[in-house]
Structure 1
Amino acid sequence: MSQSPNRLVATVFGAVYLLVGVLGLFVAGSNFAGEEGGLLLGIFQVNHLHNIAHLLIGAALLAAGLRSTAAAKRVNVTVGAVYLLLGIVGFFLVGTALNILALNTADHILHLASAIVLLGTGLALDRSTTTRHAAA
């Protein structure tokens, strides 16, 4: 694997989100979706739908990180943008029926932190690779 920052970040975040998704399955309890969920690591609220989202996002990041720098950039930016939106909107979802992922404040902070790293890496690093692909 190339030493591309985008590939490294996608691979590491992918592996971590896959692990979080698997571990969350053990604490989510019986709730598939909705405002209630179990606590992962004692602070992150998750339900089964939330865990499935982590598994899908982790798989997408890991696959892109293992594939190519261009793929990793695209997925980092896409997932980062989704997490930025979720991190912001999530604050307004708590306490409503729209909170189907059982989000809590710790989740919002983690999603925003993930967004900063993924978007920052995807938008700022490996620019020459993207330019070469666009010109080819």
Structure 2
Amino acid sequence: MAIKEPGITASPNRALAVTAGTLFAIWGVLGFFFAQDNGGQFFSRSGGFLWNAFGLNPALCAIWTLLAAAFFIVGLGNTIGSRAVNLVIGVVLLVLAVYGFVFMSTSANVLALNTTDNVFHAIVGVVLVLTALGADKENLRALRAAGARA
């Protein structure tokens, strides 16, 4: 008997991927409109502000948009891929948060990161990593067992 891939509502990793993809798509696309405040430079220490809180430049908006695309691809795909991408992107966001906190006031801050960006990246990164490591245990076990039988 084949195991059916759990739907988006039955898989926390898939649901989180679609939700995070929506969030990053909104942030990324809206950010491109406000990022033009930095004089048109792709990488710069200063940029526009989204909702008077998130510092951004076109490079950061491009990263957010690419993350959104990755989330949508796996969130609408399968549970195993969603778990893997949530884990990888969660770690990347945690690294980006640490990078932002360390280099925020230096010339190495080429993504125009500010404290709000760093806290946002840290929170989303922690949620992604914890969900990837803790959720969908039964779904993944059943899918892997079905794959081994096939």
- TM-score bracket, shorter-length normalisation: over 0.9
Structure 2 residue corresponding to 1:25, chosen from 12, 27, 32? 32
Q: RMSD over aligned Cα, in angstroms?
A: 1.2
Question: What's the CA shift for 1:134?
Answer: 4.3
Q: Which runs of 4+ in 1 moved over 6 A?
A: none
| Match of residue 92 from structure 2 | 82
Match of 1:53 in 2: 63
In structure 2, stretches of 5+ residues that fail to align are 1-6
**TM-fit CA distance, 1:88:** 1.5
Identity of aligned residues (%): 35
Between the two proteins, the alignment pairs up a number of residues equal to: 136
Q: What TM-score comes out, normalization by structure 1 length?
A: 0.94
Per-residue CA distance 1:40-98 (angstroms, 9 max, x = gap): 01100000000000000011011110000111101100000011111122111112222
Structure 1 counterpart SS, 2:76: helix
Aligned letter for 2:135? Answer: L
2:17 to 10, 23, 33: 10
Structure 1 unmatched runs, 5+: none
| Bigger Cα Rg | 2
